[in-house]
C-alpha cells in the first residue's frame, strides 16, 4: 500500500453509512482504508456500499481481527497519529507525510486509553470552537485527509 497517499484506520466502526462515506473519501484522496474488528455491521451491508456509491470497487482496504494485528503492520510507528478529543494538539501542527497513518476510534467512544497511551505525543485533535463534544466520524476523516492533501499536493 505504499502508493497510497495516507492510511485511514477505523477501530471498531459502528455505523455503516459512516464507513461507506469514509471509503469514498479514501478513494478521492488516494488513501487506503484499514478496518479493525469488531464492526457494528457486516462488510456486505447494503448501507455501507450505498454510502460509498460505486466507488467501493476502487477502494484499497483491509480488515484486521484486532488492534494488535493492525499495529504490527505499521512500519514506522512514529508516523501513526491517534485522532481524539482528549488531546489539545491540533492536526494543523502536523507536517503530513505520504504514508502517514491516521487512527480513528468508534463513533460512540473514540479510541480507548490503552491505544492512546501507545504514543501520547501523537495524539491529535480537530479544533472545535463551537459547543460540541466531537465531529461526525466521516467528517473528521474528511477534514484530516483533506488537510493532508492540502499540505502535500497544494502547498
Tens place of pLDDT per residue across the chain (155 aa): 458 999 999 999 999 889 989 999 999 999 999 999 998 877 775 665 665 557 778 899 999 999 999 999 999 999 999 999 999 999 999 999 999 999 999 999 999 999 999 999 999 999 999 999 999 999 999 999 999 999 999 86
**79, 85 Cβ separation under 8 angstroms:** no
Whether residue 99 contacts residue 79, with contact meaning beta carbons closer than 8 Å, is answered with yes
DSSP state of 92: G
Residue 1 confidence (pLDDT)? 45
Range 6-153: architecture per CATH:
3-Layer(aba) Sandwich (3.40)
pLDDT value at position 100?
Answer: 98
The three three-digit cell numbers of residue 129, written as one number: 470552537
Q: How far, in Å, CA of 46 to CA of 68, rounded? A: 29
What pTM did the predictor assign?
Answer: 0.93
Cβ neighbors of 142 (< 8 A, separation 6 or more) are 21, 22, 25
Which pLDDT belongs to residue 53? 57
CB–CB of 59/22 below 8 Å?
no
CA distance 87 to 147: 18
CA dist., res. 21 & res. 93, Å (int): 26
Given this model, what pLDDT does residue 45 score?
54
pLDDT of residue 118: 97
**Under a CB-based contact definition with an 8 Å cutoff, are residues 23 and 56 in contact?**
yes
Specify the pLDDT at position 48: 58
Amino acid at each position: 500500500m505504499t502508493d497510497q497517499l495516507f492510511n485511514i484506520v477505523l477501530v471498531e466502526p459502528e455505523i455503516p453509512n459512516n464507513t461507506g462515506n469514509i471509503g469514498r473519501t479514501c478513494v478521492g484522496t488516494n488513501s487506503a482504508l484499514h478496518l479493525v474488528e469488531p464492526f457494528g455491521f457486516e462488510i456486505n451491508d447494503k448501507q455501507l456500499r450505498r454510502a460509498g456509491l460505486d466507488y467501493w470497487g476502487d477502494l484499497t482496504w483491509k480488515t484486521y481481527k484486532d488492534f494488535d494485528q493492525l499495529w504490527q503492520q505499521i512500519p514506522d510507528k512514529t508516523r501513526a497519529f491517534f485522532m481524539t478529543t482528549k488531546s489539545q494538539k491540533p492536526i494543523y501542527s502536523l507536517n503530513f507525510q505520504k504514508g502517514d497513518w491516521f487512527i480513528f476510534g468508534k463513533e460512540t467512544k473514540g479510541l480507548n486509553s490503552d491505544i492512546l497511551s501507545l504514543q501520547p505525543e501523537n495524539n491529535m485533535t480537530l479544533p472545535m470552537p463551537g459547543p460540541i463534544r466531537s465531529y461526525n466520524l466521516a467528517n473528521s476523516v474528511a477534514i484530516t485527509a483533506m488537510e493532508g492533501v492540502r499540505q502535500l499536493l497544494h502547498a
